[in-house]
Every structure is written in structure tokens, then in C-alpha cells.
Amino acid sequence: MFEQLKQQIQEKKARVGVVGLGYVGLPLIRAFISAGFRAIGFDVDDAKVQQLRAGKSYIGHIPSEWIADCVQSGRFDATSDMGRLSEPDAILICVPTPLSDARDPDLSFVESTADYIGKALRPGQLVVLESTTYPGTTRDVVLPLLQQSGLQVGEDFFLAYSPEREDPGNPQFAASNIPKVVGGMDPRSAELAVSLYKYAVVQVVPVSSCEVAEACKILENTYRSVNIGMVNELKMVFDRLGIDVWEVIDAAKTKPFGFQAFYPGPGLGGHCIPIDPFYLSWLARKNGLSARFIELAGEINTWMPDYVIDRVIEALNEQGKAVRGSRICILGVAYKKDVDDPRESPSFALIDRLQQRGAILSYNDPHIPRLPRMRHYDVPDLKSTPLDAEFLASQDCVLISTDHSAYDYDFIVRHAPLVVDTRNATKNVKSGREKIRKA
């Protein structure tokens, strides 16, 4: 089985299956198809499947024209039929790994996917988990579900872990341009996974085990979470001292060694950084340890939307207005600039808190025309409102949550009576600065 699959991969005859056709799975399919493989995508959301089959993309940086061409040429097929998981030679799992309400790991998507694969598993398949998770998940959660098939890992089928490193909206780092860490359940599994990924990415970085690869991803995102937590805390301290944290960071980053710039904001967003550190702290508690440093950063970052709301309240109070009844427009609901990805965006925490306080809300985001439903928030049914002069003048406050490049900040400040800026987006605005409040 090993030699046969290895040869199929080398000849690019192996068919690649990807489970989960979101911001990780779809770019990964594109990388493999561009490398000369055929691919089949699996997703339980039949609406996504039908859209892809019609040659339409729902992700901004994946062109519909490319999807249509791949479907018409037979290089790509999409399905919601998990019974077809026996068809691919390699199955890559790219499903969500959210947190429960208690901030514990929610592996239900991984477990259900592994169960589907286990029921369809045939000899000669390679399975790779890409979903971000805690060390031990591949061995302790995925492997037992696959072994229900009666097949033996390393002999009949092969299993590895390779953490996704997708950076949505960053043209410099497409999926194929980012080195891929790969850890196998056994040497044969590792060799096959390395052999497969080397065709689709710029560099493969083999490590000794699935656990090392899983821990690598957790380290990468915890590193960011802790440093962002630090600058968020410094923002609050410096604000009390009358010091602009953004100017401090700009000055500090002129040091050519020993410093990397991280920036404050209204909270963490995206699927990884707000979630992964809690996976690690949960694992530490499970093993009788306390990850205090990590948990403290998580607490600070989680509290940032409340800090922003306090600044909005202060800014409105200066004008003799209460939040209740005030018209507030949120600028940007994507989790970062210039993308259409709303996952875990702090904007929804801001919307939720302002709704609770009775604000009359609107929003604008050139990348998200209608507010999507979110797991943890009661999201109002709103469409993106055009930013014309009359609309801006009618608002009591414009709250910049995501600093999209498409925004004309001079125009916004000129026409809005009050602007609360969480991203330093208005730093180059010269006139009307008396209307701007930093948060």
C-alpha cells in the first residue's frame, strides 16, 4: 500500500480530497490543483457545494473564473456526500475547531469528520488533519475513529498532522508560498505526507511526530496572542498617562534587533489567535499545570471590546449624549483589513454590547454586504450602508473597528460629527482631528 500510494503521488495521479471548504480548505485545493493534482472537496453545507459546482466562489481571493474552469475541466468536484470519502487517495481535514461556551476545546467537527472517514476508509489512503488543535488530538481522537474500520495505521492506511497556515487576504503568502510543517503517526505516514505536500507548497518542514506539529501551531498563535495582549494592556496604561501607544510602537520598531511590532485593537479576530491559546491552557489544566501567562493575555484580549465601549461612552458623554438612542455606525466587521472573513471578529462583540445599551446601529464593510449569523451573538439583520456625506452627518458616532484600505478617512472625519478610532486608521488625517477619539 505504501509503495503504491507513494508512486501515485509522485506521478500526480493521486486524487486529493479536502474536507471543509472554507478559508483554509478552498485555498488548499487551489494549491494542489495548481500543482497538477485533481481534487474533490467535501462540505456538509450543501449551499457551498452547489455554489462551487456552479463555478462561483464565496471567498474574495479565490476567483469564480478559476473555480468554473476547474469544475468544467474535471480537475475539481465538490460534494456534500461523505460516502464518497473512499474516492480520494489523500484526505485533508480542514474543519473548524471552536471553543465551547466554557472556553474548552470543541472537537465535534473533527470527531464527526473522522467518523465519516472511518466508515469509508479503504486500504491505501493517507489522512492528514490540518485543523488547529491541542497536542495529542491526532493520536488520541482521530486515530481511534479511523481504526474502527479494522485497518491498521502505517500498514493499511496512513495518518499525519500538518497545521494550516493560511493568511487570508495577504497576496504575499498564498497557501503555496507558506512552508508546511508535517508530523506523521509513523515514519511511513510522515514520508507520504511530506511527499504529497512538497508538490503544493514552497517548502516542507518534517518534524518527529504529530504532537510536535500540533504544538508548533499552538506556539505560533499563542506567541501572537501574548504579544497582542501586552500591547493592548500598554494601550490602556499609556492612554491613562496621556501617551499615544501608536507613536511609541512606531518609535520602538526602529530598533533593528530584539523587537517586533505588534499592534493593539478592539480585540482578537480570526479563527486561530482568539482560540488556540485556550486550547493550550485547557491542556495544561488537564495535566495539572496552570498556564497563567497565556490565560492572562487571553483575558486582556477578551476584555478589549469592553474597553472600546467605555471609550465610546466617554466620547458621547463629552457631547452630552448617551449611548441609548445614539446612532452609531461600525466601520468594518471583517476580522482584519481588506478581507471578507468575519470569523471571531471583535466587531460582533462591539455590536452586541452597543445593542444591549440601546444604540441605533448601522455598519459599513465593502467586503461583507450583509451581516452573517454568528455562533455566540444575536446579530441584527443589517446590510452595509453606503458612506455618503449625508449618512455620515446623521450619525452620532462612527466607530472604526476594521481599517480597510478602501475607506477614505479624510472624507469620513470631515463629515462625521465624532469618530472613535480603534486602529489608528486616522493617523494621517490632518483636518478635523478634534472630532477623533482613540480607543
| Residue at grid coordinates 450602508 | 385
Tell me the CA distances in angstroms from 130 to 34, 182, 217, 252, one per residue in order.
19, 10, 10, 36
Contact 115, 146 (CB under 8 A): no
Residues 6+ apart with CB under 8 A from 379: 348, 351, 371, 372, 373
Distance CA 350, CA 333 (A): 10
Q: What one-character-per-residue DSSP string does 76-97 give?
A: EEEES-GGGGGS-SEEEE----
> Going by C-beta distance under 8 Å and a sequence separation of 6 or more, which residues neighbour residue 87?
15, 17, 40
In the annotation, is 397 catalytic? no
Euclidean distance between CA atoms 35 and 57, whole angstroms: 20
Sign (positive or negative) of CA dihedral 192, 195, 198, 200: negative
Closest CA to 41 of 16, 60, 13: 16
> Is the distance from CB of 39 to CB of 17 less than 8 angstroms?
yes
> Cα-Cα-Cα-Cα dihedral of 384, 390, 394, 396, to 10°?
80
**Cα separation of the two ends of the chain:** 59
- Of residues 123, 155, 154, 127, the one with CA closest to residue 141: 127
At 396, give phi and psi (nearest 5°): -80, -30
For residue 290, which amino acid is it? S
**Residue among 184, 162, 198, 131 at smallest CA distance from 2:** 184
The active-site residue out of 70, 94, 216, 272 is 272
Query: Catalytic residue numbers?
Result: 272
